[in-house]
Structure 1
Amino acid sequence: MYRSHNCGELRATNINEEVTLAGWVQKSRDKGFIVWVDLRDRYGITQLVFDEERTPKIMMEQAQKLGREFVIQITGTVIERASKNPNMSTGDIEILVSKLSILNESLLPPFTIEDKTDGGEDIRMKYRYLDIRRNPVKDNLIFRHKVTQEVRNYLSKEGFIEVETPYLIKSTPEGARDFVVPSRMNEGQFYALPQSPQTFKQLLMIGGMDKYFQIVKCFRDEDLRADRQPEFTQIDCEMAFIEQEDILNAFEGLTRHLLKEVNGVDIEKFPRMLYDDAMRLYGNDKPDIRFGMEFCPLTPKGEDFGFSVFDDAELVVGISVKGCANYTRKQIDELVNWVKRPQIGATGLIWIKHSEDGTLTSSVNKFFDEDYLNHFSNKMKAEAGDLMLVLAGNTDKVRTQLSALRMELADRLGLRNPKEFAPLWVMDFPLLEWDEDTERYHAMHHPFTSPKPGQLELLKTNPGDVKANAYDLVLNGNEIGGGSIRIHDKETQALMFDYLGFTPEEAKAQFGFLMDAFQYGAPPHGGLAFGLDRLVAILGGQETIRDFIAFPKNNNGRDVMIDAPAPIDDKQLEELSLKLNLKS
């Protein structure tokens, strides 16, 4: 038995007990005549004591040689600590060691294993197994486990069955790029790693499983950022014999349960917003509704503004920022420079101050008199003390730019409290979106999404106007889940493939198995998939998913710890019939 207790559980009630502990040396303090050692495991820290009066000389010498992260086992007696530490759960006691075994020595770690470490992200990712010993990372992984367990328990109680689907599947041209896997036994042919289990969960509905879920790894070979990884985890769900309302109610229930059990927060309302309204009011399809600053389109008083920047624009739109009319010129210039960055791409930013005394001043005073500025202020419902910020230009670009500015201001003003949660359903997305490069329509979600009831005929006349029977669940400005009611008959699915540019032969080659299955009594069905990594991060008060993944990739998609991806042996390439000129 390596330990009778863990390093976080001993209390004053254990005084005079003999115990055995094992763990890592957090740090030691050698005063010559006495040595204190902090022993750590994932449960906590317990202080050990060795002294000249009560500890044999040979053990005292061993204790003085203990280095950081040595793995040791001790046996000793729990005694009352002379100088108690109220910040430690074990701070009332310490262990007078009677037996010490060094289980494994350790090199000096490349960074300190402390909550606030001196290690940068690159070095911590290279030695991720050491980083996991730190409380912030360890606690995040335990938190993820708790969320995952709550998901499994809730869905199981609601009658969902967890079913595993294949990881080696067929590559499809829709969506993001696939990771592909060559097949040794089928020369010149490849598997793909799944971007989602979409078709398999639909087949499970045809198979009569009725309610399915899976906590599943998915893979996308796409450009990375802080909230995106090449491999990620979904809570994948599907239900048969349902309508959209059934889906929304089912997963409102799951989200409400998680917020209550994990965060202790009661959420009653899940407001619903049309996609078109989200774009009009917030400039994106995942708005953070915890604060205001809704977009306000500005119109001229007469036939035009008499100001070419506005007159030549498709859209003139602004936001009113509460209480910021006292911004200095330096602060406003910072905002102007911020929106001009290449990442945002605005050519400029117009500001109007509604001062506390009621006067109005702006960066365009020479173009607009106070009467006109009052017109803008009334449109934006600005009050004394507010700052109005206005952009003009191409509709889509301006909305994207102003949305980014809105979120930046919210961060600067502390309006995005991570302990406050505001869920939102965004609904009625466009079914198709036009791609200028390929000059054809693409599915906004995926090719298996059904159009809204009664809009099927529009596919033949105005495909760009068709709304999808689709919905996204947004939490605090992040999409945490998305889904749709699926197409469940062969004719409609064939029509969808036709509008997506598939020939009948291509549709059959790619998805013939699904089309065939629709002919054997496919029930109406739909579902939703949560992004587990992002959901856990938001519930944990953060938006960067990497901190909640045990072994994440960096922004280049590399695992710097194991140095992957990496070249493979020539013999393996030959077995896979891959003739690559590795020297070129």
Structure 2
Amino acid sequence: MAESMKGLKRSHRCGELSAANVGENVTIMGWVQKNRNKGGLVFVDVRDRSGLIQVVFEEGSTDAALIEKAAKLRAEYVVAIVGKVAKRSGAVNENLSTGDIEVIPSELRVLSEAETPPFPIEENSKTKEEIRLKYRYLDLRRPDMQKNLLLRSRVATLTRQFLAEEGFLEIETPILGKSTPEGARDYLVPSRVHPGNFYGLPQSPQLFKQLLMCSGCDRYFQIAKCFRDEDLRADRQPEFTQIDMELSFVDVDDVIDVNERLLAKLFKDVLDVEVPLPIPRMTWQEAMDRYGSDKPDTRFGMELTDVTEVVKDSEFVVFKGAIENGGTVRGINAKGQGEMPRKKIDKLVSFAKDYGAKGLAYIAIQNDGTVKSSFAKFMTEEEMQALIAAMGGESGDLLLFAADKNKVVWDVLGNLRLELAKQMDLLRKDEYKFLWITEFPLLEWSEEQNRYVAMHHPFTMPMEEDLPYLESEPGRVRAKAYDITLNGNEIGGGSVRIFQDDVQERMFAALGFSKEEAYDRFGFLLDAFKYGVPPHAGLAYGLDRMVMLMAKEDSIRDVIAFPKVKDASCLMTEAPNVVDEKQLEELGLALGEGEEESAE
């Protein structure tokens, strides 16, 4: 039977008590973690978000009725306990912050009883994720999940404090806006007042933050909810959170400076990790050539080597064909993997095929120096030795090669080096390697749309020295864009924005938009630009992803209170779901036959 809290006020959280409180009367409230009844002696562990404390009900020091009541407590009952803090009479528990003390109770109230939960509320749960997400409110009681939410809250609070001190204004931008489908799909919200019209949920506050610069706000930030209706992966959610910012009268170095200091503060204050400043910078081209990725993991080497020149005269048809088609031949050296069994090498070949490779050529140098290779018969001894030398190959090394168009080769070897690093156990979660990637291509060719599309968005400033090529050679124009990466993850990205009318018009033309189309999509921004626009630049972090890396988790779902699963549904609330016919009528919407069947 649940009792009232009346007259009681919590004095401490469980994990906040320490030896300094010995002798004090305290009132704690929380959930029963476990209850050990030794007959006349009952140990009850009480848990709240701060940790655990042991409460000892013992004959001689506790009323018999209280011991009897304590014996009936079950896991997850919510209790209030009044008592005195004492030194532990038994062995000290080194694993607990409160392991050297206990509470001797004088009062116990059961505030709420509980059914047996579907899984144990404990750290490092082995419970299936689907069950954890269905009962997320129970999952969030687990200490490791509480720690993650605490860490996330701390990051958000410190970010607000730091940016406010740097002169940023926190300004909210609309959630209901205009759909501008340049990029991922928008989530649409039908309007009841304007039948047949829809709002788009923001994929980012991009246009509004640029308008705030036109409004003279100078420095803006927001911890913003964003939405993308796209196919999900482990580190993607349909709704996610950005630390979003925009600054006026700045260039690349100014944005990088304030963000390096923000990152250094967050990692020092939250994790006690020193981030050496300045953070290294690398151009997009160098990152692709060395790592096959624009978000390279630099915690280990295994860099790509371009051996096109070395093999250009070989008769090996795979290399020859790739070079003749304008491609390259590149390789990576997996040190110490020369004795890898053939079965494992075959698995690497099929892994490479998943990323577009037609195959994977290899040279395995055994520990005794003998060479096994998938293509030795097509090469002379001199060619083989020259290739091994170019790769820095030694006894015990495994050399892997991809030959194709650059994009494919980068993709294959970039992902292969990560896969090998996992297998070789080279990725340490307590090591944090930051890197700025700069000078991205402004545009990339889309086979699907048969036109150039913006690599970031249509408002990214080209590098001034590349402007002459915008019409003649759009593919060679670099952008004043920058990403901040951490351990092979992009955690933030931004750019200097276009603020001159003529450059913006040329950009739209390069993207294949007529002046009318550009105005139809972005007219309100272009109109604002007529009235005096300051040079401006910005950046946005994926808060979920950054916190995931700080918490050493593998999925952003573990740092979001109520996440969705891969098909963008919520297992706990069963959203999305059907709505009443009446609601659809009010919105002027009717479901087609297929939708009605799937709704049923």
TM-score with structure 2 length normalisation? 0.93
How many angstroms apart in 1 are the aligned matches of 2:23 and 2:537? 62
The correspondence of residues 81-230 of structure 1 with structure 2, limited to 5 A, is: 81-83=88-90, 84-230=92-238
- The aligned amino acid for 2:40 is F
Distance 1:300 1:156, change over 3 A: closer
Deviation of 1:307 after TM superposition, in Å, equals 1.4
Match of 1:69 among 64, 76, 79: 76
Partner of 1:45: 52
Deviation of 1:395 after TM superposition, in Å, equals 2.9
Deviation string, structure 1 residues 330-358 (Cα, Å, up to 9, x no partner): 44344334334xx3343432221334444
Deviation of 1:117 after TM superposition, in Å, equals 2.3
Specify the SS of the correspondent of 1:8.
Answer: helix
Match of 1:32 among 25, 35, 39: 39
Partner of 1:438: 449
Partner of 1:308: 317
Partner of 1:516: 527
- The aligned amino acid for 1:317 is R
- The aligned amino acid for 1:518 is F
Partner of 1:462: 473
1:570 equivalent to 2:577? Answer no
Specify the SS of the correspondent of 1:378.
Answer: helix
Q: Residue 112 of structure 1 contacts residue 118 of structure 1 at CA under 8 Å; is this kept in 2?
A: no
How many angstroms apart in 2 are the aligned matches of 1:539 and 1:89? 22
Specify the SS of the correspondent of 2:376.
Answer: coil
Deviation string, structure 1 residues 44-63 (Cα, Å, up to 9, x no partner): 11111223444444333322
Specify the SS of the correspondent of 1:252.
Answer: helix
How many angstroms apart in 2 are the aligned matches of 1:242 and 1:13? 51
Deviation of 1:73 after TM superposition, in Å, equals 0.9
How many angstroms apart in 1 are the aligned matches of 2:294 and 2:187? 28
Match of 2:348 among 321, 335, 344: 335
Deviation of 1:367 after TM superposition, in Å, equals 2.5
Deviation of 1:17 after TM superposition, in Å, equals 2.8
Q: Residue 314 of structure 2 contacts residue 383 of structure 2 at CA under 8 Å; is this kept in 1?
A: no
Distance 1:523 1:12, change over 3 A: closer
How many angstroms apart in 2 are the aligned matches of 1:394 and 1:154? 45
Partner of 2:301: 292
How many angstroms apart in 2 are the aligned matches of 1:136 and 1:322? 36
Deviation of 1:572 after TM superposition, in Å, equals 1.2
Partner of 1:550: 561
Match of 2:543 among 532, 553, 556: 532
Distance 1:100 1:259, change over 3 A: closer
Deviation of 1:149 after TM superposition, in Å, equals 1.9
Partner of 1:354: 365
How many angstroms apart in 2 are the aligned matches of 1:431 and 1:325? 41
Deviation of 1:384 after TM superposition, in Å, equals 3.3
Match of 1:412 among 400, 423, 433: 423
TM-score with structure 1 length normalisation? 0.95
Higher mean C-alpha deviation, range 25-34 or range 262-271: 262-271
Higher mean C-alpha deviation, range 253-262 or range 104-113: 253-262
How many angstroms apart in 1 are the aligned matches of 2:106 and 2:567? 51
How many angstroms apart in 1 are the aligned matches of 2:453 and 2:128? 41
1:259 equivalent to 2:267? Answer yes
- The aligned amino acid for 1:208 is G
Distance 1:356 1:370, change over 3 A: farther
Distance 1:453 1:301, change over 3 A: closer
- The aligned amino acid for 2:77 is F
How many angstroms apart in 2 are the aligned matches of 1:476 and 1:486? 27
In structure 2, runs of 5+ residues without a counterpart are 1-7
Match of 1:373 among 359, 384, 407: 384
- The aligned amino acid for 1:346 is A
Deviation of 1:93 after TM superposition, in Å, equals 2.3
Partner of 1:395: 406
How many angstroms apart in 2 are the aligned matches of 1:574 and 1:555? 31
Q: Residue 489 of structure 1 contacts residue 519 of structure 1 at CA under 8 Å; is this kept in 2?
A: no
How many angstroms apart in 2 are the aligned matches of 1:237 and 1:390? 42
Q: Residue 184 of structure 2 contacts residue 228 of structure 2 at CA under 8 Å; is this kept in 1?
A: yes
How many angstroms apart in 2 are the aligned matches of 1:496 and 1:435? 16
Specify the SS of the correspondent of 1:519.
Answer: helix
Partner of 2:239: 231
- The aligned amino acid for 2:11 is S
How many angstroms apart in 2 are the aligned matches of 1:576 and 1:568? 12
How many angstroms apart in 2 are the aligned matches of 1:464 and 1:68? 63
Deviation of 1:303 after TM superposition, in Å, equals 5.7
Q: Residue 219 of structure 1 contacts residue 232 of structure 1 at CA under 8 Å; is this kept in 2?
A: yes
How many angstroms apart in 1 are the aligned matches of 2:239 and 2:18? 43
Deviation string, structure 1 residues 180-211 (Cα, Å, up to 9, x no partner): 11111111111111111111111111111111
Deviation of 1:300 after TM superposition, in Å, equals 6.1
Higher mean C-alpha deviation, range 47-56 or range 572-581: 47-56
Q: Residue 339 of structure 2 contacts residue 365 of structure 2 at CA under 8 Å; is this kept in 1?
A: no
Deviation string, structure 1 residues 494-538 (Cα, Å, up to 9, x no partner): 232233232322222221111111111101111111111111122
Deviation string, structure 1 residues 62-105 (Cα, Å, up to 9, x no partner): 22221110001112233332213222222222222222111011
Q: Residue 26 of structure 2 contacts residue 85 of structure 2 at CA under 8 Å; is this kept in 1?
A: yes
- The aligned amino acid for 1:328 is P
- The aligned amino acid for 1:111 is F
How many angstroms apart in 2 are the aligned matches of 1:302 and 1:106? 71
Specify the SS of the correspondent of 2:84.
Answer: strand
How many angstroms apart in 1 are the aligned matches of 2:109 and 2:213? 57
User: Number of matched residues?
Assistant: 582
- The aligned amino acid for 1:282 is Y
How many angstroms apart in 1 are the aligned matches of 2:172 and 2:310? 62
Deviation of 1:414 after TM superposition, in Å, equals 2.1
Specify the SS of the correspondent of 1:559.
Answer: coil
How many angstroms apart in 1 are the aligned matches of 2:126 and 2:486? 33
Q: Residue 55 of structure 2 contacts residue 102 of structure 2 at CA under 8 Å; is this kept in 1?
A: yes
- The aligned amino acid for 1:315 is T
Aligned-CA RMSD value: 1.9
How many angstroms apart in 2 are the aligned matches of 1:458 and 1:12? 71
In structure 1, runs of 5+ residues without a counterpart are none
Q: Residue 312 of structure 2 contacts residue 319 of structure 2 at CA under 8 Å; is this kept in 1?
A: no
Distance 1:118 1:456, change over 3 A: closer
